[in-house]
Amino acid sequence: AAGMAAPTMEERKACWGARDEFWRCLDSHGDDAAQCEKLRRAFESRCPQQWVKHFDKRRDFLKYKKKLETEGFQPPEAAGKS
Give the Cα separation of 63 and 41 in Å (integer). 21
The helix (H) or strand (E) run that includes residue 31 is none
CA gap 76, 72 in Å, rounded: 11
What does the domain layout of the chain look like in residue ranges?
11-63
Q: Give the residue from 3, 59, 66 showing the smallest Cα distance to 31.
A: 59
Per-residue pLDDT of the chain (82 residues; tens, 9 = 90+): 445 567 899 999 999 999 999 999 999 999 999 999 999 999 999 999 999 999 999 999 999 998 899 887 666 665 555 4
Distance of CA 21 to the CA centre of its chain: 9
Give the Cα separation of 55 and 65 in Å (integer): 15
